[in-house]
């Protein structure tokens, strides 16, 4: 018997615990197999009970009271399989009786109802024997939930009342109440029917146990439950399906919360629900007495997956349960993906426990949902779409008005399809989008605030009052749609599409979202249009409205027609190529004709007020400018301005343009003339019906030529050459530069100067220094012995590789800075002639990639150098001498991005740089206890030669290529420094060295280059390349590691920094000796 009790109990609070019923059913079958039970086949209504393999008729089990040990470990939420099974074969219905609780068997329910759960919680612990203090009460287990009322297979027709078992109350130890069982469980599969249901109820949850920390109430069971595919479920007229009520919380210092009400129907997979009666969620339980407890929420009326729900007729109702205490009520319907709801009855959200707040009537939580509203529809409560969902609302005949509020979550899409005229009297809020379609009229009468987009398809969307369209929504009116203001003022975030807007006497305001949109449809009526925001609204259709167009912000571009008058306010712009009515520009407003050969046609007077501007573009060709045609009077107030905008191209001194024409009279002149030409100035004249502009050289150009915009000595040098070319008749470069804007002029002079070629010489000096450093690392190994020793080493080869980056900023001469990534490989071989003399040869290969920091372009430098080096150290002396003589050769390819006004090109220059260099160093090696200190002085001289070369044009105009004359330069520097060295000694293969030095550059620190334009070689000019730092700090540190008696490895990090220059390098190498 003990085995039977350890395995026996019932299905507890099935839906309230949200467990998968199918899993529980499988567990039941598994338990039957485990106990070797055999289910006899019975006929008609014979009831069979199987207990521990024994067959009895209508028997009841009473467990032994002495089996409390195993039961005390079970909480109220455990699943414990009951050995109770009833088979009713004539109706293919299985009725599961409520099983026992913890202490006593549950009573059988009358067929087909579930039995009540039973059992109380355990008692509190005994008083403490040690000091007489009362012990804390133990937490007793809550009562078990009621069993399922019925499990329906195919073909059931049940008009019989069905209810799930009630959960039992929690015990005095403060345990929670048991959950109620579901009323009816559908598992038959597609094609099954559960028809003519009259009364189906989920079991009520048990109350929580009282305790200082009280237990919570159990959740109510679902009335109707299906989690497999199903056919049709129908609720008859007058029938009721309801979720079980939640249990009340226990009382104590900390009150227990009320249990949630069960859902009326839970339909998780496909099928049809046909409701003629009432489906309601269960009521939430109240909190117990004490602090902190809250009531349970009401259950949903229907919670459905891809079901078809037909709520049919005046008597059909789907209602959410009321909340307990101050908790929220349940939604009328919670609809997941694929739900279709057809309603001609009532759908109501449940009220909160305090009676002040109503829950959603319908909550859409999935995509592809539909709601069809027909005559008789009553919906009480909001309709909400959560984020990412989509729902279509189809409105059929008989619907006059919907007063519900709609909440559209982020990413959700709400669509109305109207086959009959109706009004939306509620408010639409949220951040999702809304669309309107159908063959009729939808009137908006609520205060809508949603911020998602609005799309008007084949329908009339009509305002039922002022500001009923959402001012936060971007409005798109498609070609067959109509936006009807109905004489009321409205605001939208923006306007787009090709449909129709009818104003009546209302004014439409658009642009608050600052976007750029195009409306190519028609705006009609006696009302007006107001543009706000910083974006551009384009009107490209034929707009016949006769009210005033007001531009408060951004730009209105009229490429179609606007019949009414236009007022442009401070900070706003009117432009386009269409036709408009009379125009008035206030202070700070702009009228723009910035498209060559195009402009507005004004049918009426044009008034440009004080502080207002007419901006017009001038083309390269004389006479080609923006156009403005006024079929009326031109009124220019004192303080009005004309702004001329230079395009790109070859402007000529003396070019003339007509920038405005008018048929009436003119009053006033422009007070201010502004332009963005660098070297030209406009002269404005007024004809009988025209405003004209002629370009002539400005005062700066007349006195300083192209150099009036030079910002450095190199820019002035190329400007002087251009002045001489211009004086000799000019060429394409001077003609295009003449029409450059202010912003272009100095940038053009910088690109034309060609001073970037000087980076090649600076890079060559860096490579020479890099080669000397590699030799210096080799010689450091030779100095492992102190002065006076007589070590002779023969035939020692060595190799090393290094990477570095140099950053050189621009010079005051205007020469562009550069960035160089360099890789070098060096190898050498030396021979000790005696203990005093060492002679060696070294070869270094370089691969460099350059980019210019202040001018477009870059290049490569690849080559190397060969060197002979010597080291001399007299015997018994601390003095040493080192010398290096080298020859270098590097092939350079450089690209420049060049422009002059409208001209631009990419040029390519290829040239070699050759060097003959000498490095000499002397110092003293002063041995200390563990170190050698070497103060030293050095001098370096490099003679550089670059042959003449002419750039070729890779793309663009060849007039911008340069021809460079041959050049020679000498770079000289002197250094003072100190080295600290610890070489490997016996027992320690690792040594190190550091080098700290100051290097001072003597004489000229920048290359001077003479060059000319390739197509104007007679007009040469001289520029200076990027300047090297006059003083530099050189810091390096390295490690030497003796691998064995004949091989050692080394590594070194170096930093060279000076004014506007920094170099970082790392090198590694290996040397051998034998």
Over range 506-533, report the average pLDDT. 98
* Residue 102 pLDDT: 33
**Mean of per-residue pLDDT scores for the chain:** 82
- Contact (Cβ atoms closer than 8 angstroms) between residue 181 and residue 11: yes
Top-ranked range on mean pLDDT: pick from 8-12, 290-294, 658-662, 701-705: 658-662
The greatest distance separating any two alpha carbons of the chain, rounded to the nearest whole angstrom, comes to 126
Q: Are 167 and 13 within 8 A, CB to CB?
A: yes
Give the integer Cα–Cα distance in Å for 490 and 160.
58
pLDDT computed for residue 648 by the predictor:
67
Do 1023 and 759 contact (CB within 8 A), yes or no? no
Give how far Cα 993 sits from Cα of 56, 127, 825, 860, 979, Å: 100, 81, 21, 33, 7
Q: How far apart are CA 317 and CA 474, in angstroms?
A: 38
pLDDT reported for residue 363: 96
Kindly state the DSSP code that residue 1054 receives in the 8-state scheme: E
End-to-end CA distance of the chain, in Å? 96
Side-chain half-sphere of 48: how many Cα atoms within 13 Å?
17
- pLDDT for position 159: 56
CA 303 to CA 974: how far, in whole Å? 89
- What mean pLDDT do residues 150-169 have? 64
3-state helix, strand, coil in the chain (%, to 5): 10, 45, 50
Round to whole Å and give the CA distance between 1066 and 1038. Answer: 10
Residues sharing a CB contact under 8 Å with residue 836, sequence separation 6 or more, in sequence order: 872, 873, 874, 875
Joined tokens for residue 744: 């272009």
- Predicted local confidence at residue 986, as pLDDT: 60
pLDDT higher than threshold 90 for residue 982: no
List, for residues 538-563, the tens digit of each pLDDT value. 999 999 999 999 999 999 999 999 99
Grade residue 73 by pLDDT with cuts at 50, 70 and 90: very low
DSSP string, 923-962: EE-EE-SS-EEEEEEEEEEEEEEE--EE-EEEEE-GGG-E
Q: Is 25 helix (H, G, I), strand (E, B) or coil?
A: helix
Helices (H) and strands (E) in the chain, counts: 8, 82
**pLDDT of 19 higher than 80:** no
pLDDT at 811: 66
Q: Mean pLDDT over residues 98-115, rounded?
A: 34
| Torsion of the alpha carbons at 28, 30, 31 and 32, rounded to the nearest 10 | 90
Cα separation, 983 vs 993, whole angstroms? 8
Which DSSP category does 766 fall into?
Answer: H
Convert 775-844 into a string of H (helix), E (strand) and C (coil).
Answer: HHHHHHHHCCCCCCCCCCCCCEEEEEEEEEEEEECCCCCCCCCEEEEEEEEEEEEEEECCCCEEEEEEEE
Give the tens place of pLDDT for each residue, 613-631: 999 998 878 888 888 999 9
Is cis: bond before 112, omega within 30 of 0? yes
What is the average pLDDT across 513-517? 98
Q: Which domains does the chain have, with CATH numbers?
A: 1-64+79-119+142-169+198-209 (no CATH), 565-697 (no CATH), 705-750 (no CATH), 751-755+783-1072 (2.40.128.130)
CA-closest candidate to residue 546, choices 521, 496, 581: 581
DSSP state of 102: S
DSSP E strands: which ranges in 498-631?
A: 500-502, 507-510, 517-519, 522-524, 528-531, 536-539, 542-543, 549-551, 555-558, 561-562, 566-568, 573-575, 579-580, 583-585, 590-593, 601-602, 606-608, 613-618, 629-630
Could you read off the pLDDT of 796-855 as tens digits, one per residue? 788 888 888 877 776 666 788 888 899 999 999 988 888 889 999 999 999 999 888 777
Dist CA 601 CA 664 (whole Å): 14
What DSSP character marks residue 226? Answer: E
Which H or E element spans position 1001? strand 990-1002
Q: Rounded distance, CA 695 to CA 209, Å?
A: 97
CA atoms of 48 and 126, how far apart (whole Å):
43
What is the rounded (10 degree) CA torsion for 41, 43, 48, 50? Answer: 0
Instruction: Give strand pairing partners of 1037.
Output: 994, 1053
Instruction: Report the distance separating Cα 101 and Cα 122, nearest Å.
Output: 12
| Beta-bridge partner residues of 993 | 981, 1038
Phi, psi of 110 (to 5 degrees): -70, 135
Share of the chain above pLDDT 90, in %: 55
Cα dist from 561 to 519, 543, 608, whole Å? 12, 5, 21
3-state secondary structure (DSSP) of residue 703: helix
Quick check: 616 and 575 in contact, CB under 8 A? no
pLDDT of residue 988: 75
For 86, the 3-state DSSP assignment is coil
Q: Which residue has the tokens 């329910």?
A: 109
Rounded to two decimals, what is the model's pTM? 0.69
**pLDDT tens across 227-260, in order?**
766 678 888 898 999 999 999 999 999 999 999 9
Helix (H, G, I), strand (E, B) or coil at 669: coil
Q: What is the DSSP letter of 700?
A: H
3-state secondary structure of 751: helix
Question: What distance in Å separates the CA atoms of residue 901 and residue 960, rounded to the nearest whole number?
Answer: 11
Nearest Cα neighbor of 1060 from 812, 723, 823, 739 is 812
Q: What is the mean pLDDT of residues 635-655?
A: 86
* Partners of residue 977 on adjacent β-strands: 936, 997
3-state secondary structure of 171: coil
């Amino acid at each position: 018997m003990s085995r039977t009790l350890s395995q026996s109990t019932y299905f507890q609070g099935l839906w309230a615990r949200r467990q998968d019923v199918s899993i529980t059913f499988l567990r039941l079958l598994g338990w039957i197999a485990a106990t070797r039970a055999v289910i006899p086949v019975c006929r008609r209504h014979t009831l069979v009970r199987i207990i521990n393999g024994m067959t009895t008729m209508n028997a009841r089990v009473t467990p032994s009271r002495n089996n409390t040990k195993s039961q005390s470990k079970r909480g109220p939420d455990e699943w414990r399989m009951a050995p109770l099974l009833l088979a009713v074969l004539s109706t293919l219905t299985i009725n599961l009786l409520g099983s026992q609780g913890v202490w006593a068997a549950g009573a059988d329910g009358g067929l087909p109802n579930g039995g009540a759960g039973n059992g109380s919680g355990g008692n509190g612990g005994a008083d403490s024997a040690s000091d007489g203090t009362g012990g804390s009460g133990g937490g007793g287990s809550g009562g078990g939930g009621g069993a399922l009322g019925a499990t329906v297979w195919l073909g059931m027709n049940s008009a019989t009342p069905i209810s799930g078992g009630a959960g039992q109350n929690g015990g005095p130890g403060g345990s929670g109440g048991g959950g109620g069982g579901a009323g009816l469980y559908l598992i038959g599969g597609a094609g099954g029917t559960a028809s003519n249901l009259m009364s189906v109820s989920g079991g009520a949850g048990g109350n929580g146990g009282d305790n200082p920390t009280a237990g919570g109430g159990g959740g109510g069971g679902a009335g109707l439950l299906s989690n497999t595919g199903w056919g049709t479920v129908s609720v008859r007229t007058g029938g009721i399906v309801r979720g079980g009520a939640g249990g009340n919380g226990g009382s104590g210092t900390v009150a227990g919360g009320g249990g949630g009400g069960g859902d009326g129907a839970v339909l998780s997979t496909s099928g049809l629900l046909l409701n003629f009666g009432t489906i309601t969620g269960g009521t939430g339980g109240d909190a117990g007495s004490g602090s902190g407890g809250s009531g349970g929420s009401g259950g949903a009326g229907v919670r459905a997956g891809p079901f078809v729900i037909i709520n049919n007729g005046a008597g059909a109702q789907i209602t959410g349960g009321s909340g307990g205490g101050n908790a929220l009520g349940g939604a009328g319907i919670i609809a997941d993906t694929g739900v279709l709801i057809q309603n001609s009855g009532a759908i109501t959200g449940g009220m909160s426990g305090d009676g002040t707040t109503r829950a959603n009537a319908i909550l859409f939580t999935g995509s592809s949902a539909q709601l069809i509203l027909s005559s008789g529809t009553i919906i009480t409560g909001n309709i909400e779409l959560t984020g990412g969902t989509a729902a279509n609302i189809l409105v059929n005949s008989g619907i006059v008005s919907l007063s519900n509020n709609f909440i559209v979550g982020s990413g959700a899409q709400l669509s109305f399809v109207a086959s009959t005229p109706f009004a939306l009297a509620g408010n639409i809020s949220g951040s999702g989008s809304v669309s309107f379609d159908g063959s009729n009229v939808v009137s908006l009468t609520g205060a809508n605030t949603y911020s998602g987009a609005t799309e008007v398809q084949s329908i009339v969307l009509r305002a039922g009052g002022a500001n009923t369209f959402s001012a936060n929504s971007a409005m798109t009116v498609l070609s067959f749609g109509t936006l009807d203001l109905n004489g009321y003022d409205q605001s939208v975030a923006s306007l787009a599409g090709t449909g129709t807007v009818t104003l009546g006497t209302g004014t439409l305001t658009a642009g608050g979202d600052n976007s750029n949109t195009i409306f190519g449809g028609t705006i009609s009526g006696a009302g007006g249009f107001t543009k706000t925001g910083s974006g551009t609204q384009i009107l490209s259709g034929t707009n016949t409205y006769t009210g005033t167009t007001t531009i408060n912000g951004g730009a209105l571009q009229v490429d179609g027609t606007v019949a009414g008058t236009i007022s442009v306010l401070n900070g706003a712009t009117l432009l386009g190529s269409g036709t408009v009515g009379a125009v008035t520009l206030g202070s700070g407003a702009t009228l723009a004709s910035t498209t060559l050969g195009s402009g507005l046609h004004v049918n009426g007077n044009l008034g440009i007020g004080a502080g207002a501007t007419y901006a017009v573009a001038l083309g390269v060709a004389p006479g080609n400018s923006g156009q403005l045609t006024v079929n009326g009077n031109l009124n220019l107030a004192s303080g009005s301005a004309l702004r001329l905008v230079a395009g790109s191209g070859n402007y000529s001194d003396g070019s003339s343009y007509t920038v405005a024409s008018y048929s009436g009279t003119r009053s006033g002149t422009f007070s201010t003339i502004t332009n963005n030409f660098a070297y030209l100035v406009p002269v404005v004249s007024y004809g009988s019906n025209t405003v004209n502009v002629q370009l002539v050289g400005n005062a700066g150009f007349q006195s300083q030529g192209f150099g009036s915009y030079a910002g450095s000595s190199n820019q002035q040098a190329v400007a002087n050459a251009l002045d001489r070319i211009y004086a000799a008749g000019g060429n394409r470069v001077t003609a295009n530069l003449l029409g450059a804007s202010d912003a272009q002029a100095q940038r053009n002079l910088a690109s034309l100067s060609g001073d970037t070629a000087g980076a090649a010489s600076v890079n060559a000096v860096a490579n020479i220094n890099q080669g000397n450093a590699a030799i210096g690392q080799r010689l450091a190994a030779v100095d492992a012995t102190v002065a006076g020793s007589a070590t002779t080493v023969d035939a020692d080869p060595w190799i090393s590789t290094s990477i570095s980056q140099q950053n050189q900023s621009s010079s005051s001469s205007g020469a562009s800075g550069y960035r160089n990534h360099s890789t070098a490989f060096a190898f050498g071989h030396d021979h000790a002639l005696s203990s005093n003399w060492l002679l060696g040869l070294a070869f270094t290969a370089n691969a460099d990639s350059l980019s210019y920091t202040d001018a477009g372009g870059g290049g490569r430098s690849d080559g190397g150098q060969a060197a002979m080096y010597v080291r001399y150290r007299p015997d018994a002396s601390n003095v040493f001498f080192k010398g290096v003589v080298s020859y270098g050769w590097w092939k350079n390819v450089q690209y420049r991005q060049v422009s002059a006004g409208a001209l631009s090109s990419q040029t390519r220059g290829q040239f070699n740089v050759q060097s003959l260099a000498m490095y000499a160093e002397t110092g003293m090696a002063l041995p200390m206890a563990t170190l050698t200190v070497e103060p030293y002085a050095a001098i370096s001289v490099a003679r550089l030669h670059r042959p003449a070369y002419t750039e070729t044009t890779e793309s663009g105009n060849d007039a911008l290529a340069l021809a460079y004359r041959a050049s020679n330069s000498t770079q000289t520097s002197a250094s003072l420094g100190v080295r600290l060295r610890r070489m490997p000694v016996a027992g320690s293969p690792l040594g190190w060295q550091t080098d700290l030095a100051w290097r001072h550059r003597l004489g000229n620190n920048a290359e001077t280059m003479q060059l000319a334009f390739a197509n104007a070689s007679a007009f040469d000019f001289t520029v200076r390349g990027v300047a090297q730092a006059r003083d530099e700090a050189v810091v390096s540190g390295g490690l030497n590691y003796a691998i064995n008696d004949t091989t050692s490895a080394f590594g070194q990090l170096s930093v060279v920094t000076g004014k506007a220059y920094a170099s970082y390098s790392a090198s590694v190498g290996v040397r051998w000796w034998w």
